[in-house]
Structure 1
Amino acid sequence: MAAATHILAGLARDYAAVTPQRLKVIDTYMVFCVAVGLIQLAYCVLAGSFPYNAFLAGFGSAVACFVFAASLRMKTNPKNAGQFAGPPEAAFAEFVFCHIALHFVVSHFLG
C-alpha cells in the first residue's frame, strides 16, 4: 500500500509541476462533466427515470461535453503541437461551436 501511495504522490507532484494551467482548467471541467453524469445516473437509479428522454438528454450531454473537452485538451496540449494543424484558438472555437450544436439538439430532445 505504501508503494501505491508513493506512486500517486509522485504523479500528483509531476502533474502540478509540468502541466500548463490551461490544461488544468480543461481537466477540472472534465472532472465536472464526469461528476454531473454520475449524479444523473445515481438519480435515475434511485428515483426512477420517468421522463426517460430527459435522462438520456442530460446524461448524453454530460458524456458529449466530456468528449469535446478531451478533444480540446488534445489539440491545445503543447506536446501534441505537431499532430494537429492550427492554433489553439481554432480548437477552442470548434469546442464552442460543438457545444452550441449539442445544446441545441439536447434542448429539442427534451420535448
Structure 2
Amino acid sequence: MSQNQPSTSKTLQSSLNSLISNYANTTPPRIKLVDSFLLFLLLSGVLQFAYRILITSFPYNAFLGGFGSTVGQFVLLAGLRAQVSPGRDVEFKEVSQERAFADFCAASIVLHLFAYNFLG
C-alpha cells in the first residue's frame, strides 16, 4: 500500500501542474480577471461569515446586507463568466458579450440597492 501512495501523489501533482499550465496558457486575460474577482468575492464572503460566527453579529442587518451582496455578486459574476467564456457560443448564441455585460451591470445595481436597504 505504501508503494501506491508515491505513485498516486506523483499523478496528482502532475495533474495539478497540467491544470495550472493549461489554465495559464489558454485562458484569456479577461476571464482571468473575472476569476480573480470571483476568488476575492469568495474570500470576502468567508471572512464575513467567520467574523459573524467568531466575533459578533450585533448589527445583524449589516451582516445580511454585506453577506447577501457578496454572495449575490458572486452568482452574477459566475453567470457573466459562463456567458463570455470562449467556447460557449453554442449555448449563448443569442446573447452578445456586450449584452451579457450590460445585464450584469444592471443586475449588480439592483443587488446593491437591495443590500443598501438592509444596512440600517
CA contact (8 A) 2:65 2:117 kept: no
Q: Tell me if 1:110 matches 2:119.
A: yes
Match of 1:30 in 2: 38
Instruction: Give the 4+ runs in structure 1 shifted more than 4 A.
Output: none
Match of 2:78 in 1: 70
Q: What aligned pairs does 1:31-70 form with structure 2 within 5 A after superposition?
A: 31-70=39-78
CA contact (8 A) 2:31 2:81 kept: yes
Q: How far did residue 2 of structure 1 move? A: 2.3
Q: Report the RMSD for the aligned CA atoms in angstroms.
A: 1.0
- Long gaps (5+) in structure 1: none
Match of 2:20 in 1: 12
- Long gaps (5+) in structure 2: 1-8
- Aligned identity (percent) is 41
Q: CA separation in 2, counterparts of 1:59 and 1:8?
A: 31
Matched length: 111
Give the structure-2-normalised TM-score.
Answer: 0.88
Q: What amino acid sits opposite 1:74 in the alignment?
A: A
Query: What does the per-residue CA deviation read over 1:39-67, in whole Å, with 9 as the maximum and x for residues that have no partner?
Result: 10111112111111111111111111110
Give the structure-1-normalised TM-score.
Answer: 0.95
Q: How far did residue 81 of structure 1 move? A: 0.9
Query: What does the per-residue CA deviation read over 1:67-111, in whole Å, with 9 as the maximum and x for residues that have no partner?
Result: 011100011012111211121011011111111100111101112
Larger Rg: 2
Q: CA separation in 1, counterparts of 2:12 and 2:60?
A: 41
Match of 1:90 in 2: 99
